[in-house]
Amino acid sequence: MYEDILVPTDGSTGASAALGEAIELAAQFDATVHSLYVVDVASVGAEAGTVDLVESFERMGEDATEAAATRARDADVEATGSVATGSPHRAILDYVDDQGIDLVVMGTHGRTGLERYLLGSVTEKVVRTADVPVLTVRADEEDGAESDEAADDDAGDERT
Ligand code: ATP
Ligand code: MN
């Protein structure tokens, strides 16, 4: 049913929780998990010295998506990681089209927003405009540490 599942990540606990769901779904459907980090160039700005800043965000994105792909592969799920540049929701929608993604799994919230909003702005725009289903995942408030979550997944215990 699902062959290519996209998990946009900004390195937040919300994105990490989304990855956990995506890995479980991908294992069920024998699907590939695609991790994508978007360097938000508008938020970086266009002043002198921003090339360095963009590069450091790119490196952070490579680390985050590689870690996500490793977590998926540890669960015997095929995975890829990539970094794009631009406005996050547009880059996510472009990736959906270009790679034939059939499900997006993302956090209700991310790194930069306020919990009191129902949805982060990137997720809201993707939910509103994507042509494929979007599954949103809320990070467990008590489950802040990403490494704890990864450890839980490594144990491979059933949660039902
Ligand atoms: P806001 O950015 O609106 O102030 P927020 O940071 O809480 O609030 P979003 O940015 O919408 O909310 O983050 C929600 C989800 O969107 C994240 O969990 C992640 O899955 C995805 N996401 C956000 N930013 C990026 C990004 N730069 N690259 C890839 N995915 C992203
Ligand atoms: Mn954000």
What is the per-residue pLDDT for 20? 98
What is the per-residue pLDDT for 50? 73
What is the per-residue pLDDT for 158? 52
pTM of the shown model = 0.88
What is the per-residue pLDDT for 46? 63
- Residue 65's Cβ-side half-sphere holds a number of Cα atoms within 13 Å equal to 23
Q: Which residues line ligand 1 (CB under 6 A)?
A: 8-10, 12, 14-15, 18, 36-38, 40, 88, 106-107, 109-113, 120-123
Give the C-alpha separation, 93 to 89, whole Å. Answer: 6
- For the chain, 160 residues long, give each residue's pLDDT as a single digit of tens: 999 999 999 999 999 999 999 999 999 999 999 999 999 988 876 666 677 888 999 999 999 999 999 999 999 999 999 999 999 999 999 999 999 999 999 999 999 888 888 999 999 999 999 999 999 999 986 554 444 444 444 444 555 5
What is the per-residue pLDDT for 42? 86
What is the per-residue pLDDT for 8? 98
What is the per-residue pLDDT for 47? 65
What is the per-residue pLDDT for 147? 44
Q: How much distance in Å is there from the Cα of 112 to the middle of ligand 1?
A: 7
Domains, the chain, in order of start with CATH, read: 4-159 (3.40.50.620)
What is the per-residue pLDDT for 145? 46
Going by alpha carbons, the residue nearest to atom 12 of ligand 1 is 120
29 closest CA partner among 102, 135, 128, 96 = 102
